Amino acid sequence: MTDTPDEAMALLEAEDRDRALSLVFAPQKVRADLAALYAVNVESARVRDQVSQPMLGEIRLQWWRDTLTDEANSSSGNPVAAALLGSIHRHDLPRAAFDRFFEARIFDLYDDPMPDRAAFEAYAGETASTLIVLAATILSRSDADRIADAAGHAGVAQAVAGVLRLLPVHRARRQVYIPKDMLSAVGCSTEELIAGSGEAPLRAVSAMVAFGREHAKAAHEHYAAVPASVRPAFLPALLAVPYLDRIERAGSDIFNRPVEIGPLSKSYRYWRSMRG
């Protein structure tokens, strides 16, 4: 497959520009397969916005789990699902990883706060880190076996930056992704974080930024050993540090407006990372 499916690419262009831009740095022959993988991530992330209650969201996520993990199921005319099923077959992607991915996404449907750091790391591991590993498998199955540590830390750093960028959305939904043990350590309640005013929420954001930096540093230490063939899988996650830098500088604005990185800056960072 050499052409990127229109539906998958449209989703990425609209809702995940970081991954859409990274496709330019992947071999053309696998861009469509990567786009399908990343588009399913977009589909799962927006389930909450498409349903009126969490149980309906669980039913929708279960449809994705059944479709991608059970040979007896079909894509039922969904073009993104059909594209990813083709990718799964071409690259022998582990279906169990998708099952765990959609199981982790159930957390997004509810308003329960993230209980602790370990729970956040597990959530990020089954979502962001799993996407890196699956993308690497598409790029080079033999080299994908060598990136577990780098992918694990990079995925957590990416997830930290992601939830901090989405603070305005999460506040409106009354969702809390900053771990409760971290909030307690800095003297911030979940209600104060949702309110987004005062010093306590800023301390919580600072603690979360430090948490993300720890994992970004660990990922960087492993990145030098990542084979060039699978580096395109890491590009979106490598934006975690510049996002965290901008989040730190934004101060209280982070509660009302997500920070951004311009496309030219992203492309330059991707190019530099591929050369490094």
Q: Is the pLDDT of residue 5 over 70?
A: no
pLDDT attached to residue 78: 86
Burial class (CB in 10 A: 0-12, 13-18, 19+), 148: middle
Rg (C-alpha) for the chain, rounded Å, is 18
Is residue 200 within 8 A of residue 188, CB to CB? The reply is yes
In the chain, the domains with their CATH numbers are 1-93 (no CATH), 111-262 (1.10.600.10)
Summarised one tens digit per residue, pLDDT across range 101-151 is 999 999 999 999 999 999 999 999 999 999 999 999 999 999 998 999 999
In angstroms, rounded to a whole number, what is the distance separating the alpha carbons of residues 35 and 5?
8
In angstroms, rounded to a whole number, what is the distance separating the alpha carbons of residues 83 and 97?
17
Is residue 207 within 8 A of residue 186, CB to CB? The reply is yes
What percent of the chain lies above the pLDDT cut of 90? 90
Is residue 91 within 8 A of residue 141, CB to CB? The reply is yes
What distance lies between CA 76 and its chain's CA centroid?
Answer: 26
∠ CA 234-238-242, rounded to 5° = 165
